[in-house]
């Protein structure tokens, strides 16, 4: 691939975890864009509307983050993909020099729109935005795999997602689940055709540096998941996403599906688990071989006044007990917020709904995610990943007897003695 | 805080310097910071520049101006500050450290908040009403001294009864006799370092339209005659550049930056106020909420040196952020509006220095 290279640097040995280098090529020939090499496992903060909640690109970069996510559905609604295209792509529009990944928009359609109907051709949906807003996605619209790909071409993301047939994992109908899995493969093929055409027609070489990822589906059925993974691997994609999870299913089912999805994937391709961002969840999924994560959680919990500390506990800064707490949000943290501010001051800002309080917490929480992933990578590099898992489990649950069922299941499957 | 008049200009306008002694906490070196007047104080809310985290203060181009710390959004921090000071045992102390602001910037506490309108009738013999989160707090002089002890500002405003809507001309606000009496009494107080001229408007984002300069002018000039010339005159509020020019001509030395916040909250970008030749005052601004900017990929102002414009954030992007109610819109607008507002003050000082300030009044 012209736009992506991936190399495993170290294997955990005991688990499926690996430390890798992912390089994404800049799409722009201008001064803004740059090639980015990141180490994985890595977390991507979500910039839904082409902005990471209140933070400047320089502040996001300052947390150690060089890969973010934007939602095609939202950006397609406002300001519209044609506007983004005319701006010179999303990197130019939001002045983000590093790498960016977009989803296909399919998931948001199912979860946000007033109506969505899936047929073989695509997803029919109604925009949740009212008519007067400046969105360019019309009221009722059919999103086909071809269109989803073209929208991401216009947005200009480094990594694009195929349109997939997303159904809630808790959907009761196995038949529907199987249809979704096969339809998602057919849709991936249609996305690939559209992408190859665009690459062939594009003289600038821009689209050739965009990378299309397929998505493993199959709900909570292990056989469906295996089938989906097999079909996808046979098509030799540049990277692979695992979708349809983190939607309210039971935790033991969730981790089982992650394990099944990754078990027969080739080692030399990055694996991205969509919508997962809790520290303990990421940790266990890394153990099953996941490389990339995204979630709105760190920035959303910041807006609700929570700071992530330690190995991922939440501290509510709104609580009155914080008024006289003169320690940093997390004394281990090196972010700008923790270097300069006490919990007491952030408490006063949050109580008065001052946006500066949100900015301080968002910056800290993103830095928390970056530091946590760094610890995971260091542990893999140093050959102490199993010990790191043990530390985390003790931190969260204390005794082995207190481990939740899904954790016990995961560690026994990994044959870990922690 | 000390004040020096550097140059008397036409009418009552003048150039001066506000001087602050600063004891640097870490080095223990005493330095003097000098700020030229007419000066614009950096308005803060809860001890922070609105929308701007303190790491970005360096990017503001606000000449490191002293912070204005209004009490309504900080009074409830008093107890935290008292214990903060003892917890850090002098290594860190006062609101400037507590709010993570720079040590070497002076701070001035004001009783009212330029952006919060005063509700009439809440001052009693026990003290004045300061409106905080959750309601009114009555502040008398001993409570104010307590606040000052904990906040450790470089200067503070004494409590006053500003409980007068500016448009009620029968009341004391525009009553020349009461004003003159107040000015005479104030002038007699030799211990004060400056004078806050209060009561010509009721604060809040409407201050600009409330302050009727034509009716205020004669009273203001009478007051200026009475107050000692060698002390700075401060008039706070979200006042437009045109009004500020008139007030400078009437002898006001110090203002604050809250007008930039008012514009930001509306989604407006200020445009350069005084043209390059210093001949014309233009009070234009761009309403970036407007659809016309949807695909305007240029920066707010081509030659602007603010963070937003220098880094290439476009009108279209800010328009999109405003549309999507994204917080970054206010951050980007704040950089631009503050830069433009401080640039305006720098231009005024230059014009005063070159004896060409008066042409702005034509
Ligand atoms: Zn931190
Ligand atoms: Zn600017």
- Tens of pLDDT along B187-225? 777 678 999 998 888 888 888 888 899 999 999 999 999
Nearest CB partner across the interface for B51, out of A50, A336, A356: A356
pLDDT of B243 > 80? The answer is yes
Nearest CB partner across the interface for B83, out of A51, A324, A337: A324
A28 and chain B in contact, CB less than 8 A? no
Contact of B233 with B253, CB cutoff 8 Å: yes
Q: Tell me the nearest-neighbour CA distance from B298 into chain A, angstroms.
A: 10
Start-to-end Cα distance in chain A: 40
pLDDT of A176 > 70? The answer is yes
Rounded CA separation B180/B138 (Å): 27
Q: How far is residue B77 CA from its own chain's centroid? A: 21
Q: Do B51 and A355 touch (CB under 8 A)?
A: yes
Q: Output the CA A59–ligand 1 centroid distance in Å.
A: 13
Spatial CB neighbours of A355, under 8 Å, sequence gap ≥ 6 = A54, B50, B51, B327, B330
Q: Output the CA B197–ligand 2 centroid distance in Å.
A: 32
Per-residue pLDDT band for B169 (boundaries 50, 70, 90) equals: very low
pLDDT of B335 > 90? The answer is yes
Q: Do B98 and A50 touch (CB under 8 A)?
A: no
Find chain B residues with C-beta within 8 A of A363's C-beta: 53
The two tokens of residue B30 are: 């005493």
Out of A67-71, A108-112, B242-246, pick the least confident.
A108-112
pLDDT of residue B11: 94
Q: Tell me the nearest-neighbour CA distance from A22 into chain B, angstroms.
A: 28
pLDDT of A244 > 70? The answer is yes
pLDDT of residue B118: 83
The two tokens of residue A343 are: 């919990």
Per-residue pLDDT band for A105 (boundaries 50, 70, 90) equals: confident
Q: Do A349 and B48 touch (CB under 8 A)?
A: yes
pLDDT of residue B173: 52
Check residues A289 and A169 and name the one with the higher pLDDT. Answer: A289
pLDDT of B306 > 80? The answer is yes
pLDDT of residue B128: 85
Which of A164, A165, A281, A294 is catalytic? The answer is A294
B181 and chain A in contact, CB less than 8 A? no
Task: Name the one residue in this structure whose structure tokens are 């307590």.
Answer: B146
Residues of A (305-324) whose Cβ lies below 8 Å from B: 323-324
Bin B267: left if φ > 0, else alpha if -120 < ψ < 50, else beta. left
The arithmetic mean of pLDDT across residues A20-44, rounded, is: 93
Q: Do A326 and B331 touch (CB under 8 A)?
A: no
Rounded CA separation A298/A294 (Å): 10
pLDDT of residue B207: 85
Alpha-carbon distances, residue B272 vs B283, B285, B319 (angstroms) = 8, 9, 20
Q: Tell me the nearest-neighbour CA distance from A275 into chain B, angstroms.
A: 21
Instruction: Decide: helix, strand or coil at residue A69.
Output: strand
Nearest CB partner across the interface for B330, out of A93, A355, A363: A355
Per-residue pLDDT band for A317 (boundaries 50, 70, 90) equals: very high
The arithmetic mean of pLDDT across residues A40-45, rounded, is: 98
Q: Do B311 and A83 touch (CB under 8 A)?
A: no
Spatial CB neighbours of B168, under 8 Å, sequence gap ≥ 6 = B174
Condensed to tens digits (0 to 9), the pLDDT of residues A290-310 reads 999 999 999 999 999 999 999
Find chain B residues with C-beta within 8 A of A74's C-beta: 324
Q: Tell me the nearest-neighbour CA distance from A340 into chain B, angstroms.
A: 5
Residue A352 among the catalytic residues: no
A interface mutation test: which of B76, B299, B320 has the most A CBs within 10 A?
B320
B interface mutation test: which of A75, A300, A320, A348 has the most B CBs within 10 A?
A348
pLDDT above 90 coverage of chain B, percent: 70
The two tokens of residue B177 are: 């006799």
Longest Cα–Cα distance of chain A, Å, equals 63
What global pTM score does this model have?
Answer: 0.95
Per-residue pLDDT band for B172 (boundaries 50, 70, 90) equals: very low
Out of A110-114, A405-409, B219-223, pick the least confident.
A110-114
pLDDT of residue A315: 98
pLDDT of A64 > 60? The answer is yes
Find chain A residues with C-beta within 8 A of B77's C-beta: 345, 348
pLDDT above 70 coverage of chain A, percent: 96
B115 and chain A in contact, CB less than 8 A? no
pLDDT of residue A168: 79
Name the residue in chain A with its Cα closest to that of B295. A83
pLDDT of A339 > 50? The answer is yes
pLDDT of residue B36: 98
User: For residues A211-244, b (16+ Cβ closer than 10 Å) or e, as one string?
Assistant: bbbbbbbbbbbbebbbbbbebbbeeebbbbbbbb
Superfamily of domain B2-266: Queuine tRNA-ribosyltransferase-like (3.20.20.105)
Q: Output the CA B298–ligand 2 centroid distance in Å.
A: 11
Rounded CA separation B211/B213 (Å): 6
Residue A103 among the catalytic residues: yes
Nearest CB partner across the interface for A354, out of B48, B87, B331: B48
A134 and chain B in contact, CB less than 8 A? yes
Residue ranges per domain, chain B?
A: 2-266, 272-353
- Strand B14-23 and strand B2-8: the pairing is antiparallel
Contact of B334 with A145, CB cutoff 8 Å: no
Condensed to tens digits (0 to 9), the pLDDT of residues A205-216 reads 999 999 999 999
């Amino acid at each position: 691939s012209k736009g992506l290279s991936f190399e495993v640097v170290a294997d955990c040995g005991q688990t499926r975890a690996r430390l890798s280098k992912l390089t994404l090529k800049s799409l722009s020939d201008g001064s803004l864009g740059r090639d980015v090499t990141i180490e994985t496992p890595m977390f991507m903060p979500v910039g839904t509307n082409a902005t990471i909640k209140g933070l400047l690109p320089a502040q996001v970069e300052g947390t150690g983050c060089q890969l973010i996510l934007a939602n095609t559905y939202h950006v397609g609604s406002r300001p519209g993909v044609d506007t983004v295209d005319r701006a010179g792509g999303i990197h130019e529009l939001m002045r983000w020099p590093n790498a960016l990944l977009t989803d296909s928009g399919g998931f948001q359609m199912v979860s946000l729109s007033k109506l969505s109907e899936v047929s073989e051709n695509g997803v029919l949906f109604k925009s949740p935005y009212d008519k007067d807003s400046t969105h360019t996605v019309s009221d009722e619209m059919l999103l086909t795999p071809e269109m989803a790909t073209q929208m991401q071409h216009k947005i200009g993301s480094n990594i694009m997602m195929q349109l997939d047939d997303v159904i809630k994992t808790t959907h009761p109908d196995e038949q529907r689940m199987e249809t979704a899995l096969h339809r998602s493969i057919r849709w991936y093929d249609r996305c690939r055709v559209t992408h190859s055409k665009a690459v062939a027609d594009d003289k600038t070489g821009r689209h050739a540096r965009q990378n299309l990822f397929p998505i493993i589906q199959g709900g909570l059925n292990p056989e469906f998941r295996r089938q989906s993974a097999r079909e996808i691997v046979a098509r030799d994609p540049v990277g692979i996403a695992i979708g349809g999870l983190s939607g309210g299913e039971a935790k033991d089912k969730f981790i089982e599906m992650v394990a099944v999805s990754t078990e027969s994937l080739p080692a030399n391709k990055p694996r991205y688990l969509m919508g997962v961002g809790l520290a303990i969840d990421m940790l266990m999924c890394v153990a099953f071989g996941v490389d990339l994560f995204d979630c709105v959680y760190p920035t959303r919990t910041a807006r609700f006044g929570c700071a992530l500390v330690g190995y991922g506990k939440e501290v509510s800064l709104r609580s009155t007990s914080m008024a006289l707490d003169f320690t940093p949000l997390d004394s281990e943290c090196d972010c700008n917020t923790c270097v300069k501010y006490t919990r007491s001051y952030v408490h006063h800002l949050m109580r008065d709904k001052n946006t500066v309080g949100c900015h301080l917490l968002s910056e800290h929480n993103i830095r928390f995610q970056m530091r946590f992933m760094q610890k995971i990578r260091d542990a893999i590099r140093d050959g102490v990943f199993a010990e790191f898992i043990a530390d985390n489990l003790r931190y969260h649950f204390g005794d082995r007897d207190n481990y939740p069922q899904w954790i016990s299941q995961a560690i026994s499957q990994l044959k870990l003695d922690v | 805080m000390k004040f020096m008049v550097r140059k008397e200009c036409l009418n009552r306008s003048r150039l001066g310097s506000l001087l602050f002694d600063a004891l640097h906490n870490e080095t223990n070196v005493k330095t003097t910071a000098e700020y030229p007047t007419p000066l614009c104080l950096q308005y803060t809310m809860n001890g922070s520049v609105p929308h701007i985290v303190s790491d970005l203060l360096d990017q503001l181009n606000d000449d490191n101006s002293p912070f204005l710390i209004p009490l309504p959004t900080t009074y409830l921090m008093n107890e935290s500050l008292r214990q903060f000071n003892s917890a850090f045992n002098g290594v860190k102390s006062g609101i400037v450290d507590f709010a993570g602001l720079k040590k070497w910037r002076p701070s001035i506490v004001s009783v009212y908040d330029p952006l919060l309108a005063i509700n009439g009738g809440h001052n009693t013999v026990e003290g004045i009403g300061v409106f905080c989160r959750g309601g009114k707090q009555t502040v008398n002089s001993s409570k104010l001294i307590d606040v000052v002890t904990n906040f450790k500002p470089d200067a503070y405003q004494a409590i006053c009864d500003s409980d007068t809507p500016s448009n009620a001309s029968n009341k004391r606000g525009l009553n020349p006799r009461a004003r003159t009496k107040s000015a005479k009494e104030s002038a007699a107080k030799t211990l004060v370092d400056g004078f806050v001229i209060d009561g010509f408007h009721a604060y809040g984002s409407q201050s600009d339209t409330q302050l009727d300069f034509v009716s205020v002018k004669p009273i203001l000039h009478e007051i200026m005659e009475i107050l000692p010339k060698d002390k700075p005159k401060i008039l706070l509020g979200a006042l437009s550049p045109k009004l500020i020019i008139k007030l400078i001509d009437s002898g006001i030395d110090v203002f604050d930056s809250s007008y930039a916040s008012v514009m930001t909250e509306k989604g407006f970008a200020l445009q350069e106020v005084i043209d390059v030749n210093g001949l014309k005052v233009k009070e234009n601004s761009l309403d970036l909420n407007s659809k016309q900017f949807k695909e305007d990929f240029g920066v707010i102002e081509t030659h602007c040196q603010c963070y937003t414009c220098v880094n290439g954030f476009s009108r279209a992007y800010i328009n999109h952020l405003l549309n999507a109610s994204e917080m970054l819109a206010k951050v980007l607008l704040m950089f631009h509006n503050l830069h433009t507002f401080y640039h305006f003050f720098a231009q005024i000082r230059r014009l005063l220095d070159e004896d060409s300030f008066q042409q702005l009044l034509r």
